[in-house]
């Protein structure tokens, strides 16, 4: 099989860097160009020091981009849609990691969660990767909302997120002495990702998701704790069945719910570097509340890994190609 020529627009950011790492090790891919206006002409290892000895690529400027088969766009939110016409002229296929094309299938983009949109991905040329918090929440709740099992207006979701979610732009709030060890309620209400969640979980109904986000001491990772209220009296074994039915064949979803051991529920640190979404749940014995817990690596399943999974699907390559790193323990 001839290698697929790919270029990355915006390769000095965290998602772009992670994508570069994945593409360099993908057997069917050739990385043609990686852009960075700020670091143009410098080695890509300037911002991706982990890749030393694995590549001698240098960043180029966006204006130097040549035609390729697939363009991965990792620009800041708002920058991507402005250049969409330029990008379309460069490559027949575009996978965009910003928030610009996630809502309402804008410009024909398929929403990038493969577990929900695999068939559409097989046919499309444009995929818009989902927000990391949205990904964790949607994968956690999809089986319940799809099967109409929960109260549509009482769900409360609280995500705990790491510092890499904010990208590599430094500020007072990301300064280590301030950011270290903190538990920052940075978005108690009104998070942008909420619209994605509602779009994907509505199934034609009007729904409400009460969403909050808290930043904690962690670099990579999202843990979503989702409190839903069941419409009928389901037991845990019933819920097992539903999750198995909806997610049981997914290569990157693991149901994690152990009776013993110290990792009984999804744990983001075990997922660092992996494309897994681990999902667990516990039914409150005293009420109709079900707590669903999901964990991902925000730069992998929440960004670059998800994008590569979509890429594989779009090219009929085995979906797990280049994504088989199992994660580390201890870490």
DSSP three-state, residue 179: helix
Work out which of 28, 105, 291, 315 binds a second copy, going by CB under 8 A.
291
Q: Which of 189, 202, 203, 245 binds a second copy (CB under 8 A)?
A: 189
Token digits of residue 119: 């068939």
Distance from C-alpha of 97 to C-alpha of 79, rounded to nearest angstrom = 11
Per-residue binder mask for a second copy (CB under 8 A), 132-161, x = binder: ----------------------x-x-x-x-
Site for a second copy contains 238 (CB under 8 A):
no
| Member of 293, 303, 310, 313 binding a second copy (CB under 8 A) | 293
Q: Which is nearer to a second copy, 94 or 302 (CB)?
A: 302
Is 226 noted as a catalytic residue in this protein?
Answer: no
Going by C-alpha positions, the residue among 309, 10, 268, 313 that lies closest to residue 130 is 309
Candidate ranges 3-11, 75-83, 107-115, 186-194; the one touching a second copy (CB under 8 A): 186-194
Say whether residue 284 binds a second copy (CB under 8 A). yes
How many whole angstroms separate alpha carbon 252 and alpha carbon 118? 13
Task: Give whichever of 65 and 115 is closer to a second copy, judged by the CB atom.
Answer: 115
Cα separation, 68 vs 23, whole angstroms: 14
Q: Tell me if 185 contacts a second copy by CB under 8 A.
A: yes
Contact between 320 and a second copy per CB under 8 A: no
**Residue 96: strand, helix, or coil:** strand
Do 298 and 132 contact (CB within 8 A), yes or no?
yes
Mask 244-283, x = binds a second copy (CB under 8 A)? ----------x-x---xxxxxxxxxxx-xxx-x-x-xxxx
Residues 52-81 that bind a second copy (CB under 8 A): 52-54
Rounded to a whole number of angstroms, the distance between the first and last alpha carbons of the chain is 37
Catalytic entry in 74, 132, 226, 277: 132
- Check residue 220 for interaction with a second copy (CB under 8 A): yes
Q: Can you list the alpha helix ranges (DSSP code H) found in 3-131? A: 14-24, 79-82, 84-90, 114-123
Return the axis-axis angle of helices 114-123 and 132-146, rounded to nearest 10°.
100
- In the block, which residue shows the tokens 């296929």? 93
- Identify whether the C-beta of residue 235 lies closer than 8 Å to the C-beta of residue 172: no
Rule CB under 8 A: choose which of 11, 221, 302, 305 binds a second copy. Answer: 221
Q: Which of 92, 182, 205, 318 touches a second copy by CB under 8 A?
A: 182
Assess 50 for contact with a second copy (CB under 8 A): yes
Active site (catalytic) residues: 132
């Amino acid at each position: 099989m001839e290698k697929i020529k790919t270029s990355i627009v915006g390769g000095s950011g965290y998602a772009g860097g992670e994508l570069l790492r994945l593409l360099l090790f993908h057997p069917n891919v050739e990385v043609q160009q990686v852009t960075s206006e700020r670091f143009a002409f410098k080695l890509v290892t300037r911002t991706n020091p982990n890749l030393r000895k694995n590549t001698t690529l240098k960043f180029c400027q966006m204006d130097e981009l040549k035609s390729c088969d697939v363009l991965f766009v990792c620009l800041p939110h708002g920058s991507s849609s402005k250049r969409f016409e330029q990008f379309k002229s460069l490559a027949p296929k575009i996978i965009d990691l910003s928030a610009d094309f996630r809502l309402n299938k804008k410009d024909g983009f398929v929403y990038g969660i493969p577990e929900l949109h695999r068939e559409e991905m097989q046919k499309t040329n444009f995929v818009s990767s989902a927000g990391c918090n949205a990904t964790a929440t949607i994968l956690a709740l999809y089986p319940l909302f799809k099967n109409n099992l929960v109260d549509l207006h009482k769900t409360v979701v609280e995500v705990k997120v790491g510092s890499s979610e904010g990208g590599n732009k430094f500020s007072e709030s990301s300064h280590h002495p301030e950011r270290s060890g903190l538990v920052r309620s940075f978005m108690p209400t009104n998070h942008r990702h909420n619209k994605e969640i509602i779009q994907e979980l509505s199934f034609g109904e009007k729904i409400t998701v009460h969403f909050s986000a808290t930043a904690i001491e962690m670099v990579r990772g999202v843990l979503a704790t989702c409190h839903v209220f069941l419409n009928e009296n389901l037991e845990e074994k019933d819920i097992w069945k539903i999750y198995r039915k909806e997610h049981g064949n997914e290569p990157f979803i693991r149901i994690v719910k152990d009776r013993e051991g110290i990792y009984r529920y999804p744990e983001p640190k075990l997922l660092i570097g992996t494309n897994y979404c681990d999902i667990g749940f516990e039914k409150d014995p005293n009420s109709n509340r079900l707590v669903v817990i999901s964990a991902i690596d925000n730069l992998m399943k929440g960004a670059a890994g998800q994008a590569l999974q979509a890429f594989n699907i779009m090219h009929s390559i085995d979906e797990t190609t280049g994504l088989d790193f199992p994660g580390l323990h201890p870490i």
